[in-house]
Chain A
Amino acid sequence: MFNIWYLLLYSFNITVVALVILLMKRLFRDLLSARWQKGIWFVLFFRIIIPSSSHRSILLPNVGSYAEMLKFTAEKELNSAYTPEFSLIRPDFTLPQSLAPVSVTDYLYVVFFVGAAVFAIYYLISYIRLRLLLKKSPEVPDEVRREINLIAGKYNLYAPKRIVTVKGLPSAFVCGFIKPVLVLPEEKETSEKIILHELLHLKHGDTLKNTLVCILRCFNWFNPIMHYAFNVMGNDIESLCDLRTLEKLEGEERRDYGRLLLSMVNEGYQKVPCTSSASNGGKNIARRIDSIVKFKKYPKGMGVVSVCIVLFLFMPCFYGYAVETGDYTPTSESKFNLAVASARSARCTTMAGALDTFSKGVAQKNGIMLLCAVPEERHEEIISEMTKEDELNYYFSSGLEFDNLTFPDTGTCHAVYNIEKTGDRTYKADIHFDIETDENADELKEIYGEVPENNAVLVMPVIIENFDGWTVREAGGRYLLDINWDANGEYHHKNYEATGKTGKISCGFSYKYYIKSEVKEQDSFFGFTSFNTAPDLAAEFESEYYDRYTVYEANEETRSKLTDKYLSIATIKCDDEEEFENIDFEAIKKRATSMDGLSGSGSSSDGSSWSGMTVYDGWDGKEEDMSGGGYSGSGIKPAENKQPFAYRVWIFADGELIDEFTIYTEEDKQDDN
């Protein structure tokens, strides 16, 4: 909803840009010509017509956060019809429609529209009256028209079809841009130079620019600084036209032009939309004469740097700076409100940043961190929890299990697994948290049923989205897994199963992503490392670990036949059909069966891995191959779906093939498994 808060933030932002431009113009007034002085306004123009949202501040730190804070604090009490309490300030240009204003802020919003309408109507009426007057005004005599056509021809300009005279006019002007009219005073002769000036206005579309300025005035009617800026903009249009006029003239003619302007100093003028006039008020004319004196005295060869300065200013003025967060543990009400506003306005700029922020928020039960990373629709819930019972506290309950987080030496307490793309801008993943289960075991059992002893992994499936910044939300379905790595690895693997003549296999893989987590403290004496608990909204993935796991379980009949034999499993992952068709079975067999009775494992760059052991009496029938892993420290692209096309698994006993399996991972082919 477009509301007064967005309007105020928008107006503040463009005012800051206008002030910067005015300052720059002042600094460069003797150095860069009228072209630059006018051209730099395009930065403001773009800033005005292309709005930004509150998560990027224009030049001043955290303006967006303060605006959000003010809005939230005010709207808590006001019950606005146009500004829901938990909505963020966004550029949404919908009108109030049929909703009646309720709160003070609603009425202010209505007042804004009324004011804009009043200004628009005033300008429209002025323009219509002028056009009606011009319609009735007589055309100039033929000799005057011929003269004007000669002037236009001499300077290669366009003379408008309608040229009229008006009684009581102080000086000539042009009106309109679709069907322009050149208007001359009836009582006195207009100098060739003034006509040249007006024709140059026509050529460069200055009447259209003035019209746009009038429109912008309507929307900024309440802002005196913007009115001043628009006045200066209008004067710059005139000064540039003077420069163009002087460039067409030579020698003494330039002095004559200056004298002509001097003669207009005492004339009044009125701003009417769609018009341009050589006379724009005494003070302005004085400035223009000053510029004329400086004509050709500006340093030469400054074209490149003139453009570069405008471009240099354009980016911070247009793009702004991202909102800064940092206070995740506010200790007072004002700090709390600002922290909440900053967090809501901030954006995680990378997937890793969103996952890092979300995970740390969950693990530390910090609602401020969570606000940075979750979608807007969850903000109300989190803020309500933090402000329940009139207490302002960054605490947010993540669940009982997070009371018992463990922090291993080597990293954070959480890890991200199996990021998969599920849509154009959506992904899914699992976040694992290491927790101790001794304390609160009974309560945990009530939630999760079976609870492993001592330690467990809490798996939190999440959905990651990238709409206006990266966000993470729980997908639901948390569950606990035994942290014991000797288990059959189901907990973090995507598992596929197949049954053959000698037994069954399950095959799975996982991708684990490490996010760069700055080491806060490294204690060289005690040898421990404490990681940075503050989230990084722009974090990057540091490395990717790929783990493949195959478990073979022989049936009863096979177990007895395999005693004292060397059993080996070979697995190969095929990423696509081509790889599947081109498997070098002999090479794989040779590698898998080459240990000659010694237990061993290994992997190869062709994607195969193997593992072997001599079957002993009392063997439980299971053999695992965990050697199909890999590590990558660069070029990490977690968004790409890395599910393989198929697995092939072979079982050898003393070098002889006894069984083989093919597992397709795609659902429509899984009947072939």
Chain B
Amino acid sequence: MTTNISDIRSAVKKVAWGFFLIYININMGTLDILPDWAGYALMVSALGVIAMEEESAKLIKPFGTILVVWNLIEWILKIFGLQIYLNYVSIIPSAINLYFTFQLFTNLAAIADKYSCPQAKRLLVLRTINVIFTVSNTFLLYLGIITEGGEIYTVFMMGILVVALIIMLAILITLFSFASSLGEIEEQMLQAAPQAPQDMPAPDFPLYQPAQTDTPSQKPADETDIPPQE
């Protein structure tokens, strides 16, 4: 159980760092040194452990792989200054990303609930807010509600940026605090792990019996060999 929590904690941390890489971009010319594809790769690598707790997480692994490949292609093209206009095709990976993120958060929330972490509800709320925010932005922009330009457009874009920033920060804080909560639980469990009690049942394996010979034992007094099983 202790090992399991440790693995889960590690997986959650990977997801948290994955989102960090996706949200934060540091560009040196055309090179993004915090590439999005690495973020998705981290998340995909965490899915194996998450799936041990939540089976449905297995289903989104192919999606994660698609997102890694897609973002890697975009990243490479960007390095060479090849800004291929992929808007038309990108609605498919964008839709996949919507589902991937939503499902991942759902699974993490279920795990948090299982381990009685306080972040369970917040993860669900952030999951829903994130997906609704993404879709409503797309909707409003397409409807041309803010294409008149001028002050309305500026105010609207600023509003979107502020909200997006808040959501991003909330997600990162929640994920890292979730990992931290799992760490605390792991510690508590280690502390609560039983000492070698007096009334422990006898072990299955036979205790070492020194050979009955005249030759004194060469081993130090505190070592115990377990004879091979016949």
A residues near B131, Cβ cutoff 8 Å: 304-305, 308
Structural contact, A24 and B88, CB atoms closer than 8 A: no
CB < 8 Å A-B pair total: 85
CA distance A413 to B60 in the complex (A): 57
Q: Give which listed residue, A20, A301, A312, contacts B138 with CB less than 8 A.
A: A312
Q: Which of B88, B91, B135, B143 contacts A61 (CB 8 A)?
A: B88
Which residue on B lies nearest to A306, using beta carbons? Answer: B99
Q: For B174, list chain A residues within 8 Å (CB).
A: none
A403 in contact (CB, < 8 A):
no
Contact assessment for B94 and A312 in the assembled complex, using a CB-CB cutoff below 8 Å: yes
User: Which residue of A is nearest B107, CB measured?
Assistant: A299
Q: How far is the CA of A311 from the CA of B142 in the complex (A)?
A: 11
- Asked if A299 and B92 make an inter-chain contact with CB atoms under 8 angstroms apart, the answer reads no
- Distance in Å from the Cβ of B91 to the closest Cβ of chain A? 5
List the A residue with the shortest CB-CB distance to B132.
Answer: A308
Residues of B119-138 whose CB lies within 8 A of A: 128, 131-132, 134-135, 138
List the one stretch of B42-50, B146-154, B200-208 in contact with chain A.
B146-154
Residue A564 is within 8 A (CB to CB) of chain B in the complex? no
Query: Does A20 lie within 8 Å of B135, measured CB to CB?
Result: no
Please indicate the chain A residues that have their CB under 8 angstroms from the CB of B151 in the complex. 634-635
Determine how close the nearest CB of chain A comes to the CB of B195; give it in whole angstroms: 41
A27 on interface, CB distance cutoff 8 Å: yes
Known: A60-B88, A299-B56. A308 touches B149 (CB 8 A): no
Given A299-B59, A316-B142 in contact, is the A349-B95 Cβ separation under 8 Å? no
Q: Which of A24, A304, A350 contacts B132 (CB 8 A)?
A: A304
Q: Mark A298-310, 1 if CB is under 8 A from B, else 0.
A: 0111101100110
A23 within 8 A of B: yes
B54 to A: closest C-beta gap in Å? 9
Closest residue to A352 on the B side, CB-wise? B149
Within 8 Å by CB of B103, from A60, A61, A299, A316, lies A299
State the Cβ distance, B105 to closest chain A Cβ, in Å.
Answer: 10
| Beta-carbon contact of A313 and B56 below 8 Å | no
**Contacting residues, chain B, for A349 (C-beta < 8 A):** 147
Q: Inside 8 A of A636's CB, which chain B residues have their CB?
A: 150
A30–B148 CA distance with the chains assembled, in angstroms: 42
A59 at the interface (CB under 8 A from B): yes
Q: A31-B60, A304-B128 are in contact. Are A634 and B150 (CB under 8 A)?
A: yes
Q: Does B87 contact A (CB under 8 A)?
A: yes
Measured CB to CB, the nearest residue on chain B to A299 is: B56
Contact indicator per residue, chain A 356-391, by CB within 8 Å of chain B (1) or not (0):
000000000000000000000000000000000000
Query: B92 is contacted by which of A20, A301, A305 (Cβ under 8 Å)?
Result: A20
Which residues on B sit within 8 Å (CB–CB) of A311?
135, 139
Check B88–A59 contact: CB distance below 8 A.
yes
The answer to the question of A407 belonging to the interface, with a C-beta cut-off of 8 Å to chain B, is no
Interface pair A305/B102, CB less than 8 Å apart: yes
- Taking the closest CB of chain B, its distance from the CB of A535, in whole angstroms, is 16
Give Cα A299–Cα B59 distance, bound, in whole angstroms: 9
Residue from B87, B91, B102, B106 in contact with A313 in the complex, judged by beta carbons closer than 8 Å: B91
A633, chain B: closest CB distance, angstroms: 11
Contacts of B85 on A, CB cut-off 8 Å? 61
B203-225 contact mask (Cβ, 8 Å, vs A): 1 or 0:
00000000000000000000000
The size class of the interface chain A forms with chain B is 20 to 34
Known: A59-B88, A634-B150. A28 touches B99 (CB 8 A): yes
User: Chain B residues near A27 (CB, 8 Å)?
Assistant: 63, 92, 96
CA distance A309 to B92 in the complex (A): 10
Determine the distance from Cα of A304 to Cα of B128 in the docked complex, in whole angstroms: 7
In the bound complex, CA of A312 to CA of B102 (Å): 14
Q: Which residues of the partner chain B approach A312 to less than 8 Å between Cβ atoms?
A: 91, 94-95, 98, 134-135, 138
B60 — which chain A residues lie within 8 A by C-beta? 31
Task: List B contacts of A313 (CB < 8 A).
Answer: 91, 95
A308 to B98, CA, bound (A): 8
Find out whether the CB atom of B142 lies under 8 angstroms from the CB atom of A319: yes
- Cα A20 to Cα B88 in complex, Å, equals 11
B131 to A, closest residue via Cβ = A308
Q: Are A30's CB and B59's CB within 8 A?
A: yes
Instruction: Give the docked Cα–Cα distance between A23 and B95 (Å).
Output: 12
Which range holds the interface residue count of chain B? Answer: 20 to 34
Cα distance A538–B102 in the bound complex, in angstroms: 35
CB-CB under 8 A from B142, the residues of chain A are: 315-316, 319
Contacting pair B87 A321 (CB below 8 A):
yes
Q: How far is the CA of A311 from the CA of B98 in the complex (A)?
A: 11
Closest CB-CB distance, A369 to chain B, in whole Å? 21
Known interface pairs A31-B59, A31-B60, A635-B150; A304-B92 also in contact (CB < 8 Å): no
Pair A350/B149 contact, Cβ less than 8 Å? yes
Interface centre among A60, A301, A309 (most CB of B within 10 A): A301
How near does chain B come to A134, taking the closest CB pair, in angstroms?
44
Within the assembled complex, what's the spacing in Å between the Cα atoms of A61 and B135? 22
Q: In the complex, what distance in Å separates the CA atom of A30 from the CA atom of B57?
A: 12
A474 to B143, CA, bound (A): 31
Give the residue name and chain of the A residue nearest to B141 (CB): A315
Docked complex Cα distance between A32 and B103 (Å) = 11
Is A540 an interface position by the 8 A CB rule? Answer: yes
Q: How far is the CA of A24 from the CA of B143 in the complex (A)?
A: 23
C-alpha gap A151/B135 in the complex (Å): 42
Cross-chain contact B95 with A309 (CB below 8 angstroms): yes
CB distance from A381 to the nearest CB of B (A): 30
Which residues of chain A come closer than 8 Å to B134, judged between CB atoms? Answer: 308, 312
- Residues of chain A with a CB closer than 8 A to B106's CB: 299-302
B127 CB → nearest A CB, Å: 8
Annotate A57-91 by CB proximity to B: 1 below 8 A, 0 otherwise: 00111000000000000000000000000000000
CB nearest neighbor in A for B91: A316
- Which A276-326 residues have C-beta < 8 A from chain B? 299-302, 304-305, 308-309, 311-313, 315-316, 319, 321
Asked if B99 and A31 make an inter-chain contact with CB atoms under 8 angstroms apart, the answer reads yes
Contacts of B98 in A (CB 8 A): 305, 308-309, 312
The complex places the Cα of A27 from the Cα of B97 at a distance, in Å, of 12
CB distance from A26 to the nearest CB of B (A): 11
Give Cα distance in the complex from A30 to B59, angstroms.
Answer: 8
**Nearest-Cβ distance from residue A637 to partner chain B, whole angstroms:** 8
Residues of A within 8 A of B95 (CB): 24, 309, 312-313
CA gap between A532 and B91 in the complex, in Å: 32
CB closest chain-B residue, reference A350 = B149
Q: Which residues of chain A are within 8 angstroms of B143 by Cβ–Cβ distance?
A: 315, 319
Contact B91 A321 (CB under 8 A): no
Asked if A305 contacts B99 (CB within 8 A), the reply is yes
Question: In whole angstroms, how far apart are the Cα atoms of A301 and B148 in the complex?
Answer: 38
Which residues from chain B contact A300 at a C-beta distance below 8 Å? 56, 106
Q: How far is the CB of B113 from chain A (nearest CB, A)?
A: 12
* Contact indicator per residue, chain B 56-89, by CB within 8 Å of chain A (1) or not (0): 1001100100000000000000000000010110
Residues of B within 8 A of A32 (CB): 99
A550 to chain B, nearest CB (A): 31
Q: How far is the CA of A302 from the CA of B106 in the complex (A)?
A: 9
- Taking a contact as CB atoms closer than 8 A, the residue among B92, B148, B149, B150 that contacts A24 in the complex is B92
Given contacts A304-B131, A312-B135, A635-B150, 17 further A-B pairs with CB under 8 A are A24-B92, A27-B92, A59-B88, A302-B103, A302-B106, A305-B99, A308-B98, A308-B102, A308-B135, A315-B138, A316-B142, A350-B149, A540-B149, A540-B150, A541-B150, A634-B150, A634-B151
What 5 A-B pairs are tightest by C-beta distance, nearest first? A305-B102, A299-B56, A315-B142, A540-B149, A308-B135
CB pairs A–B below 8 angstroms (27 shown)? A23-B92, A27-B92, A30-B59, A31-B59, A31-B99, A59-B88, A61-B85, A61-B88, A302-B102, A302-B103, A304-B102, A308-B102, A308-B131, A311-B139, A312-B91, A312-B134, A312-B138, A313-B91, A315-B142, A315-B143, A316-B142, A321-B87, A321-B88, A349-B147, A540-B150, A541-B150, A634-B150
